[in-house]
Amino acid sequence: MIEVPARPYPFSLDPARTALVVIDMQRDFVECGGFGEALGNDVTKLQAIMPTVAALLALFRAKGWPILHTRECHLPDLSDCPPAKRLRGKGALRIGDVGPMGRLLVRGEAGASIVPECAPLPGEMVIDKPGKGMFFATDCESLLRGAGVTHLVFAGVTTEVCVQTSMREANDRGFECLLVSDATESYFPQFKAAAIEMIVAQGGIVGWATSFPQLKEALA
């Protein structure tokens, strides 16, 4: 076991059973013209973490440890997108509508793809999820169990929505979860801070949080 400095106390990482999970580093959320901007958000806030996420990916690739990427997107006919999700809000564009990068949050469209800086390599797991959590209506759990994974290191966007939801789902399934705080981001800084506090509160009720430099040094 490797001990990683973390909150609320050191995280014990099993190097033979650890995978990196990168949540939704998609053009639709990170780049101008995507779904995130259609909701009225400043997407440049999310772009700031791309170098750290890329460095985290490089670290896991150098060790040959499993990596799983997620993409929130829907079937072209939107049969897996409930009306309650698609019709919520007052934005000019909704899920499935055509934007500058194609139909928003639809599989196969340019906007649904992961940004090139953080793109999957051959052999890395990729999950298309119709919800905010990575386990809902996916084969994510069977993939991780099949790879013998028990410990998950999380990065990606956004901290308080898809990242935290996925961590909570993983926690309920018995996975040990560590969030890399400088490799995750929100459109709202106060939401990111609050989400991390929720995760580490009460003795790590959802999981642990560390920084990329702390993790890198511990794994050196």
97 catalytic, yes or no?
no
Q: Which of these is catalytic: 24, 28, 73, 192? A: 24
* Catalytic site includes residue 129: yes
2-7 contacts at long range (C-beta below 8 A, 24 or more positions apart): 2/218, 2/219, 3/218, 4/178, 4/208, 4/210, 4/214, 4/215, 4/218, 4/219, 5/210, 5/214, 5/218, 6/178, 6/208, 6/209, 6/210, 6/214, 7/200, 7/204, 7/208, 7/209, 7/210
Amino acid at 103: R
Query: Of the residues 81, 118, 162, 177, which is catalytic?
Result: 162
Catalytic residue among 129, 132, 177, 182: 129
Helix (H) or strand (E) holding 70, with range, is: strand 67-72
Clarify whether 162 is annotated catalytic: yes
Would you name the residues annotated as active-site residues? 24, 129, 162
